[in-house]
Structures are given as structure tokens and as C-alpha cells.
Amino acid sequence: MKRFVFAAAMLTCAASVAALPPGPPPGPPPPYQMRPVAPAGDRLKPGGDGKTLFEVHCGYCHLTGGMGTNLLTKQRMMMGETPDKGLLANRTDLTADYVKSVVRMGKGAMPGQTKVDVTDVELDAVARYLGKAG
């Protein structure tokens, strides 16, 4: 939480944003983010809960303090957005198709995910959850 307050303070002063290297703010990183228990049963059956599946399968990097969140926070802030947009769950501009494409094809340092990492129907649910722009 502290890091976001600090990051927001940085944003209010555009000059210092430009002057500082875009590193992580000081202070201890957030605690480990527990993921929900993976749903039991057939991973090929449609209709899973997108939020749970996102946290289970993408939570290694995309919860608070995760590797992906840290990099995206920096990127979004450089684009003039608020730091909370580093969390994919807070994004409103993602489409389901875009989410699927990035998950399967990878993006930047993120490797493409196999169907064992996340099955097609799990990905459908995740994409519906994250794809708030349609």
C-alpha cells in the first residue's frame, strides 16, 4: 500500500517523475499474496470463475507486488496513468481477445503460456474477467 501512496505522490509532481529514474519506490515490498485454492475438477470444463482462475494461474506475477505488476506499474505511470493500473484486475481498457493473445503469444519478458499453464476454457474465463473493454 505504502508504495502506491508514494507513487501517487510522485505523479502529482510531474517534474520529479521526469528527473527520477523510474525505479521502485523505497520501503519494504508488499507481503506474499496468497492465491485462492485452484478449483477442483475438470480443467477442460467451461464456466469457471474468471477472477479465481486469474489469481490462481496469473497470480505468480500479476497480484500486488508481483513481477508483472511492478513492470506494468512503471509502464502505466510513464504513460501518465495512476499506479493502480499496474494491476491487470484494475484495467478497464483490456479486451478479451487482447488478453488471450498476450497469454498465448507472450509480451516483452512474459513468456507465452502453455495449455497446461492455463487451458483454453480457463483462459476464456480469465479473458472475460480482465476484458472489461469487451
Partner 1 sequence: MKLHLPPRVSPRTFDAMLTAAAGVVGKDWVMASDADRDAYSDVYAPGSPEEWPASAAIAPASVEEVRAIVRLANEHKTPLWPVARGKNLGYGTAAPRMAGSIVLDLGRMNRILELDAKLAYCVVEPGVGFFDLYEAVQREKLPLWLSVPGNAWGSVLGNALEHGIGYTSYGLHARNLCGIEAVLPDGDLVRTGMGAMTGNPAWHLFPMSYGPTFDLAFSQSNLGIVTKAGVWMQPAPESSLELVFDIPAAEDIGWVIDTIAPLKISGLIDQNVFVPSWLGKMVLKGQRKDFWDKPTAIPEARVQELLKEHKLGYWQVALRLYGEEGVVKAKADVVKAAMKRNLAAPPEEHWWHPGDYIHGVEITMGVPSAVPLQMSDWIGGRGAHMGFSPVVPATGKHVLDQMHRSRKIIADFDVDFYASFTIGGRFANNVNMLMYDRDNAAEVAKMRRLFDTLITETAKAGYAEYRTHLGWMDPVMDTFDFNGHALRRFGEKVKNALDPNGVVAPGKQGIWPAAYADQRGGKA
Beta bridge partners of 110: 107
Regarding 46 and contact with partner 1 (CB under 8 A), the answer is no
Regarding 33 and contact with partner 1 (CB under 8 A), the answer is yes
Closest-CA residue to 126 (of 118, 134, 117): 118
Q: Mark the segment that binds partner 1 (CB under 8 A) among 11-19, 79-87, 89-97, 100-108.
A: 100-108
Regarding 17 and contact with partner 1 (CB under 8 A), the answer is no
Question: How big is the chain by its Cα radius of gyration, in Å?
Answer: 16
> Out of 53, 119, 122, 124, which residue is the one contacting partner 1 (CB under 8 A)?
119
- In our burial notation (b when 16+ CB lie closer than 10 A, e otherwise), range 40-64 reads eeebeeeebebebbbbbbbbebbbb
Residues that bind partner 1 (CB under 8 A): 21-24, 28-35, 37, 44, 59-61, 65-68, 70-71, 104-106, 108-109, 111-117, 119
